[in-house]
Structure 1
Amino acid sequence: MLDTKDFTFFESQSNFDFKGFFLKIIGYWKWFVLSFIITFLIAYNVNIRKEKIYGMESSIVVKDENNPFFTANTSLVFNWGGVSDKVQTVITTLKSRSHNELVVDNLEYYINYEVKGKYYFEDVYGSVPFYVKIDKNKGQLLNTPIKIKFLSSNQYELSVDFAEYPSGKLIHYIDNSQSDLGTLNDVFVKKYKINEEVNLPFLTLNLHLNPDAINFKGKEFYLRFSDFNGTVAKYKEIDVSADTKAASVITLQLQGANKYRLVKYLNTTVSMLKKIQLDGKNQFATNTINFIDSTLLQMEGQIKEAENELKDFRRGKNVFQLEAGGEKLTDKVSEFDITKDELERKSKYLNLLNTYLLKNNDFSKLPAPSVAGIDDPNILINVSKLIQLSTQRAELGYSVKSNKMFTEFDSEMEALKKVLLQNIISAKTSLNVDMAIVNRNISALEGEISKLPEQQQELVKITRKYDLKDNLYSTFLQKRSEAEIVKAANISDIDFIDPAKDIGGGLRGPKTSINYILAILIGFLVPFLIVFLITLLDNNINTADDIQKLTKIPLIGVIGKRNTLNNLSVFEKPKSPLAESFRAIRSSLQFMYKKQKVEGSKILMLTSSVSGEGKTFCSINLATVFALSEKKTVIVGLDLRKPRIFGDFNIDNITGVVNYLIGQKTLEEVTQSTHIPYLDLITSGPIPPNPAELLMGGAMDDLIEELKLKYDYIILDTPPVGLVADALELAKYADATIYVTRQGFTKKGMLAVVNEKHKRGELNNISVLLNGFQNKNKYGYGYGYGYGYGYGAYGESYHDEVVEEKGLKKILNKFRKKNS
């Protein structure tokens, strides 16, 4: 039948020891210091090796700049729409590929000027004493440093290390195409004079000095030609955003390694946009002027011909007499002729507009309707909107790839076209009515003129023709003058609030403080995790707390690490803290014996879980403590399988317990005296084939009885209870049992075996001893638990413990002893 003691499900389980873990972290402080040193060195090297990044910014405002000369008769101003539309258009344009291509090409930012730093090539654009002009039709070496070393004020050395930088690519900036150069493995070196043309298979340029260039002799610089599209892509990353509080204000931000380059790019990109916007604003006026100029050029011949015809007719005639009869009729008919011409010009423009709407999609080249005298507000507004949409669509075509947006533009433009076509029909209907009235009036006047004499009729005819041409010419001259005024008075809707400027600072990275903070975190986290894993995976007994959590068996004491070369630590250093630890255990044992009312000879059995836990060491030193107090003590070596207790006393193991148990020797014959007063030793003797059977025999009872008559204390050094059953056979003789564990060696699970034996009653009056204890946390003095509990601090001043020398001092002392 199973005993309830067989079940260990309710064995007290240890929880995570936070205090012990904290102390262990303190014990590994050197790991943390080393980790911090390494991470800080890494952070420092990262910081000094990273190129510094700066940020520059500028701000602009987008306004509705109305032309002061704008009137209903000079509707020649291009309008981008409301301010919100302008802002979005400006933002889109500044980030567009086409606009940035113009800026990069204008500034030639694909040519890099550098100096070789300790860790990287530094961008020194704006501070080099020279500049280069390249032939865009010729290929330039791509992405390869070209060294420029100034030998004198008018000579420099150009070199390329193809062995270190094997590029093999040429770029042609005329069309941004690339071609293969081939493989070159040599170092090219050649001297040139300033302003002399460099014409090489991989390089075509002229180097010129800046006017303010000084102190450049002997200095080295590098040229590097970058891919044009790659350079544009980098500057397309410009941050352009509208101010949330002021919708018409736009902020531009750009980051890079060279502040001068950033400032110049920001100001240039805005200046170019201002020019483009102003050109767009003047587009109507320019188109109108071009239209009028072409018309006037045709009319100059016609008006000159009419003028000559009038002069020829008047020659040799009494003009005053001829004019007297038809002057009033001439003035009236001329007025109607001018009105008719205006109507015809309006009709022609409407016909042109109608045809253009039906056959074209780009309306940005249309002249303003006012050039033909059209003042219909519907037509004026709709033509302006149509041209505005057409221009916006063309601008977005360079940067926006969304078909949905273009579809919206096309739908809106199509709707405007339909409205305009209806407006044209209505306007033409009104014009036809007006034209019919004018024609009737002209016909009536022509009927009256036909009644005049023939020469007067001819004069009226020629005068009508001349007056019409002259009036039309004057009208176009007036329109041209108005367009010029409008064009001259136009100003850009974009203006600087704060141009980009280097006023110091602007550093964006590397974030050195962040790197050092990361170094602190990583420097702490790495050893912390290692210590945590060591603690988590450590299944050894390390502290007295571990024992108290794993078993209810009392802890009798804690023994420090052996401080001598042999196991006779108490005898050789009787005043050491280690010796006092054994004395504390002796006191605890005497208290136990007294409590159990054990009289006469006392038997103490020492066992352990496995070999190597210091059971023999503890047996010898406990026996020494009893012997030093002038108590007759004997150590009985009962580990018949692995005897080892005799070596420290320089005693042989020829005869021993085995010889007594098999009846070969008497007690006196197997007992050997040691050099320690009052301490005898009985070794195990030769290894028998049946150790357990020998220990179970009656001879063992006789041995114990004889020993009791002769000795005050009998120390039984037994085999490990976790490996063999011998100790269990001997437990019945012991008044007290000490189960020896060793720090960092005994597994926690081994205590389950002792717990089971104790619950079954197989091991009575048992205590646990922690051997080989070192305060690995370096928290306190050498033996933290000292003599039983807490006596170790006193030992620092009372005992003759020799402080172990460390480091360089230890090496020097060894060297002195060797040579002495």
Structure 2
Amino acid sequence: MSETKGTNILSLSQTDINPFFATDVLNAILRSYVSYDRNQKTVSATQTIKFIDTLQQSMSKAVRTSGSKLEEFKVANKVIDISATGQDVMKKLTDLETEKSTLNLQGIFINQLEKEVVNNKNLNAINYNLQGITDPMLGSLLGQYNALLLKREEALATYKASSDIVQQIDKQILDIKSAFVSNANSQRQKNIKTIDFLDQQIASIKGTFNTIPRAERELISLASNDAINQKVYGYLSEKKLEAQISKAAITPGATIVDFALYNTRAISPIHQKTYTSALIIGLVVGIGLVFLVRMLNPFIYDKETIESLTNIPIIGVIRKYQDAIDEDNRQILSIKNPKSLFAESVRSVRTNLSFLASEKASKIVCITSEISGEGKSFTTVNLASTLSLIDKKVIVIAADLRRSKLQHTFKVSNLKGLSSYLSNQAELSEITFSTEVENLTFIPAGPVPPNPSELLYSDKMKNLLEELTKSYDFVIVDSAPVGLVSDAIPLIRMADVNLFVLRSGVSRYQAASVPERLSKEFSLSNIAIILNAFDNDILHSRYYTTNYSGSYYANYYYYSDYSNKGYGSGYYSDEPNKKWWEFWKKK
């Protein structure tokens, strides 16, 4: 249902699975509404007709009774006609009694009308034809009353019932009611005085009955009563006919412009609209989720983020290796796929490394990270193998004495290693192993000692590094994560170059501040950052692109989510625990 603004037009509609049923329901509602509106407007006229019907029923009995008595008296007394004197007396008496009865009827009508006006709670117009019945003043007040009701109905189409305009009309209606009640009381008092006067006239006429014979007196009385009842009954019939005509002339305030017509075409659901809505909702929700993920993202994904968090330079960005990677890094990927984008990014780091501590003929490079799982050892292996390809003698030291896996990569035994050497349980020659890669030598971590930090702080570790620099161009130390243990601190202070590895999608924002804190705390100027496992990812990509820093080619890159392990989890365990949903994976 809807209402046209600024008009009094009401539109009805019904949605149903059965169009024929909906059409019948709407048309029935329309007809009922129009009928109800008309019935409401004819309430007063209907009540008038019912009231007159009640009076006519009692008056009909009185007419029959008076007529029967008159005929019975004529038959019993054998009287056919009344004398001229008696007819004159009967006429005067009949006129006075008729006038008295009319005034009594007026009183009844006034009482009924007053009751209707006072008790008109629904504010319906009162359609009484008062001409010839009451004082003209009552008719005028009734006309004003109906006019105010119509004015109020028109005002409600624009204003609320609590508005000042409607409230003023309500006040005028109350004033009219009060004036009507006052005039009704005055009219009743006037009628009472008139009836008293008529009673005196009737008594005076009846006093002349003594000069008329007894039988004729009774005949005059019966004939007079019968004539009075006939006139009153005729008068009521006339007023009933006027009320019926008035009721028939009343038209409803509502008109049906168009009847409801059924529609055989489906209006809901509309498949095209449903698909369009689903598409729009999907796009909005999808875009919203993307923005939500970006806003709630706690991880580093690109070089620009690192640059915004720290002043430490970035030596290079190692791209993500797209194929599956062995958990123990048994394949040196930079050598296995030398023409891949990954291998090129490692070579870019190698090139930039030559600019750090360039005055050193032999460099000690310490590679560390904040936590495990950021690709520290992975970067060590591939960077060392790339350096060996340019005829540099490289030795890799597995200095993560707590949890090193480099022995699996180079396929050597871990029964003896750095921990054995530092604890005077083995000689240097016993822990130094050649690898399958030319110019690349490896020292394993060895058995896990009870005091790894103390061994790395020892002078023997310092002497070992000094001795190795005499034989190798690069001494690359794979240390423990600085965010979990302090084992890497002495190695960082001994190194010529410190490389801090951040992994895209794994390292959090606070990890980027660790290199700067180390630099300030130990007065280091030789620390740089490597961003590992960088990939193209639309979800976390920026709105702009940038070039590799220090690379030999201008390749645009984006950042991506490369996270597949818990943040820093599993460092102290021998083997990383698989997630429950990875039961199908082999170790």
Decide: shared fold, TM above 0.5: yes
For residue 311 of structure 2, what is the aligned residue in structure 1?
552
Q: Percent identity?
A: 25
Alignment of 1:502-517 (within 5 A): 502-504=260-262
2:254 matches 1:483: no
1:299 aligned partner, one-letter code: V
Contact 1:334 1:468 in 2 (8 A): no
2:328 matches 1:571: no
For residue 35 of structure 2, what is the aligned residue in structure 1?
271
Deviation at residue 357 of structure 1 after TM alignment: 11
Alignment of 1:273-352 (within 5 A): 274=38, 277-278=41-42, 280-303=44-67, 305-306=69-70, 323=84, 326=85, 330-331=87-88, 333-346=89-102, 348-349=104-105
Deviation at residue 271 of structure 1 after TM alignment: 2.7
Distance 2:506 2:468 in 1: 34
Distance 2:72 2:556 in 1: 138
- SS for the counterpart of 2:354 is helix
1:703 aligned partner, one-letter code: L
2:513 matches 1:756: no
1:564-620 deviation digits (Å, cap 9, x = unpaired): 5335011111111111111111111112334xxx14222222112223322221111
Q: What is the aligned-residue RMSD (CA, Å)?
A: 5.0
1:707-751 deviation digits (Å, cap 9, x = unpaired): 222222221222222333332212343221101122233333344
2:498 matches 1:737: yes
For residue 642 of structure 1, what is the aligned residue in structure 2?
403
Contact 1:672 1:680 in 2 (8 A): yes
Contact 2:398 2:477 in 1 (8 A): yes
Deviation at residue 667 of structure 1 after TM alignment: 4.6
For residue 492 of structure 1, what is the aligned residue in structure 2?
250
Alignment of 1:42-57 (within 5 A): none
2:307 matches 1:543: no
Match of 1:589 among 330, 353, 367: 353
- SS for the counterpart of 2:249 is coil
Match of 1:653 among 414, 432, 438: 414
Distance 1:571 1:512, change over 3 A: closer
Query: Larger % of strand: which?
Result: 1
For residue 621 of structure 1, what is the aligned residue in structure 2?
382
1:32-51 deviation digits (Å, cap 9, x = unpaired): xxxxxxxxxxxxxxxxxxxx
Distance 1:556 1:334, change over 3 A: same
Contact 2:301 2:540 in 1 (8 A): no
1:159-205 deviation digits (Å, cap 9, x = unpaired): xxxxxxxxxxxxxxxxxxxxxxxxxxxxxxxxxxxxxxxxxxxxxxx
Distance 1:722 1:655, change over 3 A: same
- SS for the counterpart of 2:366 is strand
- SS for the counterpart of 1:427 is helix
Distance 1:504 1:383, change over 3 A: closer
1:733 aligned partner, one-letter code: M
Alignment of 1:119-158 (within 5 A): none
For residue 164 of structure 2, what is the aligned residue in structure 1?
none
Distance 1:507 1:273 in 2: 34
- SS for the counterpart of 2:318 is strand
Distance 1:303 1:370 in 2: 30
2:249 aligned partner, one-letter code: I
Distance 1:361 1:581, change over 3 A: closer
For residue 747 of structure 1, what is the aligned residue in structure 2?
508
Distance 1:245 1:788 in 2: 70
Distance 1:524 1:259 in 2: 39
2:436 matches 1:675: yes
Deviation at residue 341 of structure 1 after TM alignment: 1.1
Deviation at residue 510 of structure 1 after TM alignment: 7.1
Distance 1:486 1:794, change over 3 A: closer
Deviation at residue 681 of structure 1 after TM alignment: 1.9
2:466 matches 1:705: yes
1:620 aligned partner, one-letter code: V
Distance 1:534 1:285, change over 3 A: closer
Distance 1:792 1:657, change over 3 A: same
1:427 aligned partner, one-letter code: N
For residue 87 of structure 1, what is the aligned residue in structure 2?
none
Distance 2:119 2:456 in 1: 118
Deviation at residue 298 of structure 1 after TM alignment: 2.4
Contact 1:555 1:768 in 2 (8 A): yes
Structure 2 gaps, min length 5: 17-21, 121-127, 147-172, 558-587
Deviation at residue 443 of structure 1 after TM alignment: 7.5
1:492 aligned partner, one-letter code: I
Distance 1:766 1:362, change over 3 A: closer
Contact 1:785 1:791 in 2 (8 A): no
Deviation at residue 679 of structure 1 after TM alignment: 1.7
Distance 1:718 1:500 in 2: 89
For residue 723 of structure 1, what is the aligned residue in structure 2?
484
Alignment of 1:153-168 (within 5 A): none
Deviation at residue 556 of structure 1 after TM alignment: 1.3
Distance 2:412 2:547 in 1: 31
For residue 695 of structure 1, what is the aligned residue in structure 2?
456
**Structure 1 length-normalised TM:** 0.52
For residue 188 of structure 2, what is the aligned residue in structure 1?
424
Distance 2:368 2:115 in 1: 110
Distance 1:439 1:685, change over 3 A: closer
Distance 1:641 1:464 in 2: 140
Alignment of 1:802-817 (within 5 A): none
**Structure 2 length-normalised TM:** 0.70
Contact 1:627 1:679 in 2 (8 A): yes
Contact 2:138 2:184 in 1 (8 A): yes
- SS for the counterpart of 1:592 is coil
Alignment of 1:348-367 (within 5 A): 348-349=104-105
Distance 2:199 2:346 in 1: 134
Distance 1:621 1:460, change over 3 A: closer
Distance 1:789 1:708 in 2: 27
1:503 aligned partner, one-letter code: L
* Segment drifting more, 743-752 vs 250-259: 250-259
2:371 aligned partner, one-letter code: V
1:555 aligned partner, one-letter code: I
Distance 1:379 1:535, change over 3 A: closer
Distance 1:508 1:281 in 2: 46
Match of 1:612 among 350, 365, 373: 373
Distance 2:419 2:145 in 1: 120
2:56 aligned partner, one-letter code: I
* Segment drifting more, 629-638 vs 508-517: 508-517
Deviation at residue 765 of structure 1 after TM alignment: 0.8
Structure 1 gaps, min length 5: 1-54, 56-238, 388-408, 797-820
1:427-450 deviation digits (Å, cap 9, x = unpaired): 22134345546765x489x49x94
2:471 matches 1:714: no
Distance 1:494 1:255 in 2: 24
Contact 2:388 2:438 in 1 (8 A): yes
Match of 1:601 among 362, 378, 395: 362
- SS for the counterpart of 1:606 is strand
Deviation at residue 250 of structure 1 after TM alignment: 7.2
Task: Count how many residue pairs are aligned between Structure 1 and Structure 2.
Answer: 513
Distance 1:696 1:348, change over 3 A: closer
